[in-house]
Structure 1
Amino acid sequence: MVKTVLRTMTCALLLTSFTAATAADRGVPVTPDILLSHIRRNAEETPVHPRMQWLDNGRRILISTVTVQTQAGAGRGQFAEYVPLSYLQRTVDVRTGATTDIGVGYDPVVAAQADVIAYHPEGSGGGRLVVARSGGTATCEVSVSELMSDTTGIEAVALAANGGHIAVAVGYGASRFAAPAAAPTNGAAVRVLEAAAPEIWGHNVAVWVLDEHCSDARRIADLPETRIGRMTWADQDRKIVAATATPVPGKGFPRSDLHLFDPATGQGSVLAANIGGQGAAFLQAAPVGPYVAFTYDKEGLGYQLRKQFAIASMADSRIHVVSMDPRERPRWLDERTVLADISGAHPLTRRLATVDIEGRETELPGIPANAMPSPDGRRLAWLDIDLYGAASLSVADLRKASGVWQASPRRQIWKADPPLASYARAERRFVRCESTDGVRPEAILVLPLNHDPRRRYPLIVDLHGGPRGGLDGGSHGAYTPGTILSSSSLEHDMWAAKGYAVLVADYRASGLYGFDAVSRTGEAYAQDFTDIMCNVDAAIRDGVADPDRMAVIGHSYGAYEVNWIITHTHRFKAAISKEGGFADHMAGWGAGARTNQLATTLYGTPIDNPDVYRRMSPINFTRGVTTPTMFVSHRGGALPGDLYGWMYAAWREQGVDAQYRIYDDPNHVLIGEADQRDQLYAAISWIDRYLIPERAEVVDETP
Structure 2
Amino acid sequence: MPRAINIDDLFRLRLVSDAQISPDGQRVVCVVKYADREKNKYFSHLYLCDLRTREVRQFTSGEVADSQPRWSPDGKTIAFVSNRQKPKAQIFLIPVDGGEARALTSLEEGSIGEIVWSPDGTKVAFTFRLTPEPWREQAAKERKEKGFSTPPRIITRPFYRLDGAGYFDGEYYQVWVADAKTGEAKPLTSEVTSCGSLSWSPDSSKIAFVCNRSEDPDLNPNLVDIWLVPAEGGDLQRVDTPKGPKGDIAFSPDGTRIAYVGHTKVDDIWGVTNDHLWVADLISGTARDIMEGFDRSLGNLTLSDMRDVGGGSRPVWTPDGKQLLFLASDRGSTVLYSISAEGGEPVFLRGERADITGFSLSADGRRIAWCEGTATQPHEVFAGTLGDGAIQNAEAITRFNADWLAEVQIQTPEEFACLSPDGNEVHGWILHPLDFDPAQKYPLILEIHGGPHAQYGWVFFHEFQLLAAQGYVVLYTNPRGSKGYGEAHTAAIKGAWGGPDYTDLMAAVDAQLTRGYIDETRMGVMGGSYGGYMTNWVVSHTDRFRAAITDRSVVNLHSMAGTCDFPLLPGGDYFRGNAWAEPEHLWEHSPLKYAGNIHTPLLIIHSEGDLRCPIEQAEQLFAALKVQKKEAVLVRYPLESSHGLSRSGPPDLRVHRLQQILDWWKKHLSSE
- TM bucket by the smaller chain? 0.7 to 0.9
Correspondences of 1:428-467 after superposition (within 5 Å): 428-429=412-413, 431-435=415-419, 442-467=427-452
- For this pair of structures, how many residues does the alignment match? 623
Answer whether contact 1:426 1:447 (CA < 8 A) is retained. no
Matches within 5 A, 1:532-547: 532-543=505-516, 545-547=518-520
Q: 1:106 aligns with which of 37, 46, 67?
A: 67
Q: Does 2:297 correspond to 1:326?
A: yes
AA aligned opposite 1:332: W
Q: 1:313 to 1:218 in 2, by over 3 A?
A: farther
Moved more, 160-169 or 61-70: 61-70
Partner residue of 2:251? Answer: 285
2:542 aligned with 1:569, yes or no? yes
> What SS is found at the alignment partner of 2:54?
coil
**Is residue 292–residue 314 contact of structure 1 (8 Å, CA) maintained in 2?**
yes
Partner in structure 2 of residue 591 of structure 1:
563
Task: Tell me: CA distance 1:367–1:511, structure 2 relative to 1, closer, same or farther (3 Å).
Answer: closer
Secondary structure of the equivalent of 2:326? Answer: strand
Report the alpha carbon displacement of residue 564 of structure 1 after superposing the two structures with TM: 1.1
Which residue does 1:700 correspond to in 2?
A: none
Name the counterpart of 1:26: 2
CA drift of 1:118 comes to: 0.8
Gaps of 5+ in 2: 162-167, 300-312
Q: Give 1:112 deviation, angstroms.
A: 5.5
Alignment match of 2:123 (pick from 140, 143, 165): 165
The CA distance in 2 between the partners of 1:351 and 1:406, in whole Å, is 13
TM-score normalised according to structure 2 size: 0.78
**Residue 419 to residue 536, structure 1, CA distance change in 2 (3 Å):** farther
Aligned pairs for 1:189-588 within 5 A: 201-204=169-172, 207-215=175-183, 217=184, 219=186, 221-244=188-211, 251=219, 256-264=224-232, 266-271=234-239, 279=247, 282-300=248-266, 306=273, 308-309=275-276, 310-321=278-289, 323=291, 324=294, 325-328=296-299, 329=313, 330-333=315-318, 334-344=320-330, 346=332, 349-364=333-348, 370=356, 372-400=360-388, 405-418=389-402, 420-421=404-405, 424-429=408-413, 431-435=415-419, 442-471=427-456, 478-480=459-461, 489=462, 491-516=463-488, 517-519=490-492, 522-543=495-516, 545-580=518-553, 582-588=554-560
Pairwise CA distance, 1:561: 1.0
Which residue does the alignment assign to 2:309? none
Q: How has the CA–CA distance of structure 1 residues 158 and 543 changed in structure 2, closer, same or farther, with 3 Å as cutoff? A: farther
* Equivalent AA in structure 1 for residue 123 of structure 2: H
- The one-letter code of the counterpart of 1:48 is V
1:364 deviation in Å? 2.0
Deviation, structure 1 residue 617: 1.8
Instruction: Using the TM superposition, give the Cα deviation of residue 119 of structure 1 relative to its aligned residue in structure 2, in angstroms.
Output: 0.7
Deviation at 1:271, TM superposition (A): 2.8
- Report the CA distance shift for 1:73/1:391 in structure 2 as closer, same or farther (over 3 A): closer
What is the CA-CA distance between 1:587 and the residue it aligns to?
2.4
CA distance in 1, matches of 2:199, 2:159: 35
Deviation sequence 1:600-620 (CA, Å, 0-9, x none): 662244268645324312244
Does the CA-based 8 Å contact 1:549-1:572 persist in structure 2? yes
Deviation digits for residues 415-451 of structure 1 (CA, Å, limit 9, x no counterpart): 4434643753341315242556886555443321222
Instruction: State whether residues 109 and 159 of structure 1, in contact with CA within 8 Å, keep that contact through their aligned partners in structure 2.
Output: yes
Give the match for residue 17 of structure 1.
none
By how many angstroms is 1:343 displaced?
Answer: 0.8
Matched letter for residue 108 of structure 1: P
- Deviation track 1:177-212 (CA, whole Å, cap 9, x = no partner) reads 67999999999x988877899997421555443444
Tell me, yes or no, if the aligned pair for 1:240 and 1:263 is still in contact at 8 Å. Answer: yes
Q: Secondary structure at the match of 2:413?
A: strand
Q: Pick closer, same or farther for the CA change 1:421–1:97 going to 2, 3 Å.
A: closer
Q: Distance between the aligned counterparts of 1:381 and 1:197, measured in 2? A: 38
Cα pair 1:26 1:423 within 8 Å, conserved: yes
Q: Distance in 1 between matches of 2:91 and 2:147?
A: 44
Secondary structure in 2 aligned to 1:213? coil
Inter-partner Cα distance in structure 1 for 2:317 and 2:219: 34
Q: Secondary structure at the match of 1:688?
A: helix
> For residue 486 of structure 1, what is the aligned residue in structure 2?
none
Matches within 5 A, 1:53-202: 53-66=20-33, 69=36, 72-74=39-41, 85-93=43-51, 95-99=52-56, 101-104=58-61, 105-111=66-72, 114-121=75-82, 123-124=84-85, 127-137=89-99, 141-145=103-107, 150=108, 152-172=110-130, 174=132, 201-202=169-170
Cα distance 1:452–1:136, how it changes in 2: closer, same or farther (>3 A)? farther
The answer (yes or no) to whether the contact 2:46–2:69 under 8 Å persists in 1 is: no
Percent identity over the alignment is 20
On the 8 A contact 2:111/2:131 being kept in 1, the answer is no
Q: Distance in 2 between matches of 1:153 and 1:685?
A: 38
What is the one-letter code of the residue matched to 1:127?
A
CA drift of 1:501 comes to 1.9
Question: How much is the aligned-residue C-alpha RMSD, in angstroms?
Answer: 4.4
> How many angstroms does 1:26 deviate by?
1.2
Partner SS state of residue 558, structure 1? helix
Contact 1:106 1:121 in 2 (8 A): yes
Letter in 1 for 2:340: D
Q: Which amino acid aligns with 2:533?
A: Y
Task: Give the distance between the partners of 2:133 and 2:472, measured in 1 at CA.
Answer: 46
Aligned to 1:16: none
Find the aligned partners of 1:340 and 1:672 in 2 and give their Cα distance: 33
1:551, CA displacement in angstroms? 0.2
Does the CA contact (< 8 Å) of 1:110 and 1:118 recur in 2?
Answer: yes
Q: Distance in 2 between matches of 1:100 and 1:666?
A: 34
More off after superposition, 126-135 vs 596-605: 596-605
Cα separation, 1, equivalents of 2:516 and 2:535: 24
Residue 512 of structure 2 aligns to a residue whose secondary structure is: helix
Please give the alpha-carbon distance, in whole angstroms, between the structure 1 residues aligned to 2:20 and 2:661: 41
- Identify the match of residue 665 of structure 2 among 679, 682, 687: 687
Which position in structure 2 is the counterpart of 1:631?
604
8 Å Cα contact 1:463/1:504 also seen in 2: yes
**Letter aligned with residue 54 of structure 2:** G
Hey, what's the Cα distance between the residues in 1 that align with 2:56 and 2:654? 39
Match of 1:483 in 2: none
Distance in 2 (CA, whole Å) between partners of 1:56 and 1:558 is: 43
> SS in structure 1 opposite 2:239?
strand
| 1:593 CA displacement | 9.1
- Structure 1 residues 662 and 140, CA, compared in 2 at 3 Å: closer, same or farther? closer
Distance 1:246 1:30, change over 3 A: farther
Q: Secondary structure at the match of 1:559?
A: helix
Change (3 A) 1:307 1:53: farther
Structure 1 unmatched runs, 5+ = 1-24, 75-82, 481-488, 695-703
Indicate the SS of the match to 2:197.
strand
The alignment partner of 1:571 has SS state of: coil
More moved, 583-592 vs 436-445: 436-445
What's the CA shift for 1:311?
2.4
* Greater mean alpha carbon deviation, residues 497-506 or residues 670-679: 670-679
Q: 1:419 to 1:413 in 2, by over 3 A?
A: closer
Residues 268-322 of structure 1, C-alpha deviation per residue, up to 9 Å, x if partnerless?
223367976762xx33322234222233242345665545133223445532226
Are 2:433 and 2:472, in contact at CA under 8 Å, matched by a contact in 1?
yes
Shift of 1:506: 3.6
SS of 2:585's partner is helix
Using the size of structure 1 for normalisation, the TM-score is 0.75
Query: Does the residue aligned with 1:509 lie in a helix, a strand or coil?
Result: coil
Asked if the contact 1:306/1:514 (under 8 Å) is kept, the reply is no
